[in-house]
Structure 1
Amino acid sequence: MKENIISINHVHFRYPGQTVYALKDVSLNVAKGEWLAIVGHNGSGKSTLAKMLNGLHYPEEGQVTICNFPLKDEFVWDIRRRLGMVFQNPDNQFVGTTVQDDVAFGLENNGIPHEVMVERVKASLQRVGMLDFLNQEPHHLSGGQKQRVAIAGVIALQPDIILLDEATSMLDPRGREEVLRTVRQLKEEQDLTVISITHDLEEASRADRIIVLNKGSVYREGTPEEIFQLNEELIKLGLDVPFPVKLSEILRLQDFEIASNYLSEEELVRELWTSNFKK
């Protein structure tokens, strides 16, 4: 078994002046190199948890440990150097006049020598397929391209963990696919740990494991296949099951020989094609 890179133990958190807990007795672990998706409807606690992982909130009760550092004031910058966040709106992340200036910004703030910085900027843009846009102005890019540049800015800092905080929610299907494919490649090439905070179960289906939050607590956890078997429960929680999973279930009810709930359209089409549409 891989070691845990994040441990959250019996965490409670309330916003100032509130009596209801935003997080209530939350316990979970994230293994090094894992892609974990944390899903839930608005108000489920997932955004609060994302902010806690970045040291913007501290537990009222319980403990959080990230990369062997306890979440405390004296260690918060050590944690932030190891955990890079990609936010919902890429336009809010850009500070440079060109793509390379933007990727270099975080490196400059961390005092990286110029020669090293130049190499890291080029290498990170190369990894996300954006090296040809080195001198492009960010506002001329598509949504998917902007998020890939934002990811380049994060990986240039060489974190151990990338946290995607609703990072694909403002993108069209093509942009979403570009970003998720890029994240998968980076995870496999660099053994990165990825955490997706999302309400989109299509995005969550790419993860190794899913945790469902509801009313500030862990409701269920399991592989995508296990979670999507909770079809009706997920819908009651305000979550929409991915289209291929819905279609798999409909076809099975029509007596088609569908082996399982397929998580991608490609897998489902391949199954239908190879089974010759048997009923």
Structure 2
Amino acid sequence: MEPLLKIENVSFRYRENAKWALEDISFQLQKGEWLAIVGHNGSGKSTLAKMLNALHFPTEGQITANGTILSEDTVWEIRDQVGMVFQHPDNQFVGTTVEDDVAFGLENHGVPHEEMKTRVREALLDVGMSDFLTQEPHHLSGGQKQRVAIASVLALRPNLIILDEATSMLDPKGRKEVVKTVHEMKEREDLTVISITHDLEEAAKADRIVMLNKGRIFFEGTPQELFQKHGDMLKELGLDLPFPVRLASELNKRGLTTSSGMSEEELVDEIWNLHLSK
């Protein structure tokens, strides 16, 4: 199957003769996949996010989205295919109500009124916010605001949704809300998602991880492979391992052999099964 997104030998620097912000980056993304791009501050994540939304163009290499090569001539075509959810949801709000806000992008795209009403309601239903149509966005909690921001992107029906540090400003409850919402939508709607994050709890929900370090790809594989092979290095870089992974590691040190569970539920089930087998 042809990849939805191809990053081929991409390098980028902000000015001539400057240090490379990204250097020789290559990876692909298939339709329906959730890819997490992780790394510490300064690893190149933000630069890559701007490039994926056509705010930067590669200094070297090529980006192809759904068969279209990113260039100055195709920038708007690419942006129509890619929906971006940013770190600060308040910066994305323009409407006086939740309904108005989700409709704003559709109006700009010339979507007919009746279809627009249908898309707004479907998108808000998808993120569990259909009871908040007439609410003012600034009265919502952080997690609710971010879910409305996701609905605004969903209503446009892009081929790819990018979460650019979309949970980093939320409290733990709001973060869990948003990650759970995205996970459920991906399974239900076969969405294609890229989450750019330093939160490994969020990245653990992805199908695959690309880890950046000093502008290069340090690792590409499943979350479990990353945590098992490079857990010590992640801690050195200031990236906190997910709680179930840390707990599994401590239990293994104490002689209770478990796998590196990706969720608390998986780890509890495994410990329970070990107990029953004794």
Report the TM-score, using the length of structure 2 for normalisation: 0.96
Gaps of 5+ in 2: none
Could you say what secondary structure the match of 1:246 adopts?
A: helix
The answer to whether the 8 Å contact 1:99/1:138 transfers is: yes
| 1:246 and 2:252 aligned | no
Could you say what secondary structure the match of 1:73 adopts?
A: coil
Question: Percent identity of the aligned residues?
Answer: 62
Query: Which stretch shifts more, 208-217 or 183-192?
Result: 183-192
Deviation at 1:277, TM superposition (A): 8.5
The answer to whether the 8 Å contact 1:256/1:278 transfers is: no
Distance 1:18 1:178 in 2: 44
**Aligned residue in 2 for 1:142:** 141
In the TM superposition, 1:174-189 aligns within 5 A as 174-189=173-188
| Amino acid corresponding to residue 168 of structure 2 in structure 1 | S
Deviation at 1:170, TM superposition (A): 1.0
Distance 1:196 1:133 in 2: 26
**Aligned residue in 2 for 1:276:** 275
| Amino acid corresponding to residue 247 of structure 1 in structure 2 | L
Deviation at 1:87, TM superposition (A): 0.4
Could you say what secondary structure the match of 1:4 adopts?
A: coil
The answer to whether the 8 Å contact 1:7/1:66 transfers is: yes
CA-based RMSD of the aligned residues comes to 1.4
In the TM superposition, 1:1-279 aligns within 5 A as 2-16=1-15, 19-229=18-228, 230-258=230-258, 260-276=259-275
The answer to whether the 8 Å contact 1:143/1:171 transfers is: yes
| Amino acid corresponding to residue 82 of structure 1 in structure 2 | Q
In structure 2, relative to structure 1, the CA distance for the partners of 1:277 and 1:235 (3 Å cut) is farther
Report the TM-score, using the length of structure 1 for normalisation: 0.96
Distance 1:232 1:192 in 2: 32
Deviation at 1:274, TM superposition (A): 2.6
Aligned residues: 277
Could you say what secondary structure the match of 1:84 adopts?
A: strand
Gaps of 5+ in 1: none
Deviation at 1:16, TM superposition (A): 2.5
Deviations 1:189-248 (A, max 9, x none): 222110000001000000000010000000001101101111112222332211110110
Could you say what secondary structure the match of 1:64 adopts?
A: strand
Distance 2:277 2:214 in 1: 43
Distance 1:166 1:26 in 2: 20
Deviation at 1:271, TM superposition (A): 1.7
Distance 2:190 2:238 in 1: 33
Deviation at 1:80, TM superposition (A): 0.8
